[in-house]
Amino acid sequence: MSGGKQNNQGPGKMARVTNVLIWLLAFLIMAAAVIYQRKTGPTYPMRGTFTLEGRSISYKLIRSDWSQETSEGARVELPDPGRNYFGELHYKRLRTTDDFSIAPMEREIADEKPVLVGLLPAQPAAGKLEYFITLSDSAGSTRNIPDRSVIIRFKNKVSKPILLAHVLLMVLALLVGLRAGLGALFTPGVLRRWTWATLLLMTGGGMIFGPLVQKQAFGAYWTGFPFGGDWTDNKTLIMWLAWVVACAAIGLGRTKPKLVRRMVVILALIVTMAVYLIPHSMGGSELDYSKLEQGVDPADAIGTGRK
């Protein structure tokens, strides 16, 4: 009798171990994808280093800030290299024939460290500037930091609860989607539960709270297909449709999904991971300054699809 009991417990214990390992792998992949999205996105601060008099100086330059509705300007900071050096901030509106404007950078103390500070003029929502810093020494030599212009985009402020709900639901959708896709390979018995959960989470995060974030930040609920070429909206739509198809294939029945249906779920996960390899916010909302100069209201002069 005892031997039979041990045999019955063996498969159950193995299933629990497999379940834990699948969740662990799903979490690790999810974390890597989220970090990748964060660090490769076009609004993530530009980091770099430059060498001066044998010293290596690290810097971080902003690429996103609030629009002129809520801010007077974007604060650009550079570690102060010393009293013999002076900084100037050069900037112009992106994709225009404007000449670069030049603003002197002032010395301040930030976080108990000396910095050079310059202020970029805030733009309407979705407006972009390109900028760089010139360091000059007392002997008259100059150098540009960084070597190429930095692009900064301005946006309206978004309600923290709405933004948090959007981010949290999208992260959970990725985690549960990974669990569903990996489960299609190893534990298909509970595949239906996680497939439908992924679709519900993605619907909430991407198709409900996502448009609410977009509306508050840039003035429109949806700028992807068929209304525009916003990459983020289109990526969300592709992922969502992939899980709609997966749920349609899985259905609501209680029978163990067949191999073909399991493959559809795996394909939905592949689509999702492919989408996450595209940096966040690329091809998003961008103010067309040429329309602005024609008298078009800033809210109506926003386009999409540009890198």
- What distances in angstroms separate CA 181 from CA 22, 169, 195, 196, 265, one per listed residue? 10, 18, 8, 12, 6
Residue 62 corresponds to which tokens in the numbers above?
Answer: 């902003």
Residues 270 and 206 in one domain: yes
Mean pLDDT of the chain: 90
Do 65 and 118 share a structural domain?
yes
Domain with 107, as residue range(s), is 46-155
Q: 56 and 49 in contact (C-beta within 8 Å)?
A: yes
Residue 11: pLDDT band (50, 70, 90) is low
What residues have CB less than 8 Å from 186, skipping those under 6 apart?
Answer: 18, 22
For the domain that residue 67 is a member of, what is the CATH number? 2.60.40.10
Q: Do residue 197 and residue 107 come from a single domain? A: no
pLDDT in tens, 16-56: 888 899 999 999 999 999 999 988 888 899 999 999 888 99
- Does residue 53 or residue 264 have the better pLDDT? 264
* Residue 92 in tokens: 């112009």
* DSSP H or E run through 58: strand 55-61
Number of domains in the chain: 2
pLDDT of 1 strictly over 50: no
> Do residues 127 and 93 both lie within one domain?
yes
Residue after which a domain boundary falls, among 123, 155, 187: 155
Give the per-residue pLDDT at 122.
Answer: 95
Examine the domain organization and report whether 188 and 123 are in the same domain: no
Whether 297 and 213 share a structural domain: yes
Average pLDDT rounded to a whole number, residues 224-234: 89
Does 254 share its domain with 162? yes
Note the pLDDT tens digit of each residue in 279-307: 887 778 899 999 999 999 988 888 886 66
**Same domain for 201 and 124?**
no
**Does 6 score more than 70 pLDDT?**
no
pLDDT at residue 3 tops 80: no
Query: Residue 8: inside a domain, yes or no?
Result: no
- Which of 168 and 183 is assigned the larger pLDDT? 168
Beta-strand runs (E) in 62-127: 64-66, 73-79, 85-93, 101-104, 106-110, 113-121
Per-residue pLDDT band for 68 (boundaries 50, 70, 90) equals confident
> Which of 155, 186, 211 corresponds to the end of one domain?
155
Please indicate, yes or no, whether residues 215 and 270 belong to a single structural domain of this protein.
Answer: yes
pLDDT band (50, 70, 90) for residue 188: confident
